[in-house]
Amino acid sequence: MRISVTADVHLRTRVEHPERYNALENIFEQTSTEGVENLLIAGDLFDKDFRSYSEFEELCRKYSKLGLHIIPGNHDPSISGMSIVGDNIHIYTDSTALEIDSTTFLFIPYEEKAKMGEKIAEMEKEIEGKEWILVAHGDYYGGAKELNPLEPGTYMPLSRKDLERFNPRTVLLGHIHRPLSQNNVHYAGSPCGLDINETGRRRFLVYDTADGSIVPRVVRTDVLYFYESFVIVPMDDEVTMLQQEIKERIESWNIDRSEYPKVRVRVEAVGYATDRRAVLAALEKGFERFKYFKDEGPKIERLLASSDYQLNAIAERTMKLIDELDWTFGGDEPAKEHVKIAALSVIYGD
């Protein structure tokens, strides 16, 4: 049996955010069309302090044959079977072991200040000797650290030791909005970008209980966010290089021209330039086919001018050396862009 998985929808009203309802309905539609009978929602179905559920209930009635299995997240801890009504809606406010197609799913709702390992231990008798799947909402600390930038701090942590002790077959989590998979731990990510920091295509997951495989499915959304930041190094061909990089960035989005109207982009140039005006013009020309997030236009506030040719030569050589570094950027290490910006600050004394 296949089961769909999503999380972090953060619904409010359709008037406020129609794109979030449309993304969720697209998951409902794809799931039903493929003959999948169950959808798991791993927390934060609703946004913080939101209590109006009638529009969601109406959507669920439209797909009445689809079984919805929902756990509360840190944004919607008060949802329950008493507050949300629907024959196909199942909300697990307590830790619950449920058999679906002879597979045990352990649903653990978010609980403030709790640790996920402690909650699993309370249910150990329910999963002992079984091949089981964890569905929960919180932070996984077992690989490259990936925090939710919108919510600093620790939320119901799950550790690598927890996985070694309890040995779930698969872990399906909510809370981190970026799609992320590390070994057998999977964040579906938010099905519709909530702001400009949640970029690119969104997805939901389809889990197969027969072989444990997970297949991502693209969510067809009303909006696609992209945030492109360019580190400018002062040199004679700085604009030519920027033009080429803009072209490569847009190609890396991997979207069709028919989707261009959906794009909302934020563009920024940082670093140093011999001609700030020309850099701004190149950015405006390069992204002229797209709408800007909040109509901001390209930002060059952190792009400084430099006419010191000796320092410019040092900066150009330093950037090449950074590009040649055998270093894994990102994760627990700084991103390459941040390393370059820090190096430029040292060179120019800012």
Band of residue 125 on the pLDDT scale cut at 50, 70, 90: very high
| Per-residue model confidence (pLDDT) at position 326 | 85
> Do residues 98 and 107 lie in contact, with contact meaning Cβ atoms separated by under 8 Å?
yes
Q: How far is CA 338 from CA 160, 226, 318, in A?
A: 29, 18, 14
Question: Among 3.60.21.10, 3.90.1200.10, 3.40.50.300, 3.40.50.970, what is the CATH number of 2-219?
Answer: 3.60.21.10
Spans of all domains in the chain: 2-219, 224-348
- Measured from the Cβ of residue 298, the count of other Cβ atoms closer than 10 Å reads 21
Q: What is the pLDDT of residues 190-202, one digit of tens each?
A: 999 999 999 999 9
- What sign for the dihedral angle of Cα 50, 53, 54, 57? positive
From 95-99, 100-104, 146-150, 249-253, the region with the lowest mean pLDDT? 146-150
| Per-residue model confidence (pLDDT) at position 102 | 87
- What sign for the dihedral angle of Cα 207, 211, 212, 216? negative
Q: What is the pLDDT of residues 303-348, one digit of tens each?
A: 999 989 899 899 889 989 998 988 888 777 888 889 999 999 999 8
Q: What global pTM score does this model have?
A: 0.91
Q: What are phi and psi of 94, to 5 degrees?
A: -125, 160
Band of residue 266 on the pLDDT scale cut at 50, 70, 90: very high
| Per-residue model confidence (pLDDT) at position 149 | 59
How far is it, in rounded angstroms, from Cα 6 to Cα 39?
Answer: 8
> Do residues 30 and 22 lie in contact, with contact meaning Cβ atoms separated by under 8 Å?
no
How far is it, in rounded angstroms, from Cα 133 to Cα 83?
Answer: 27
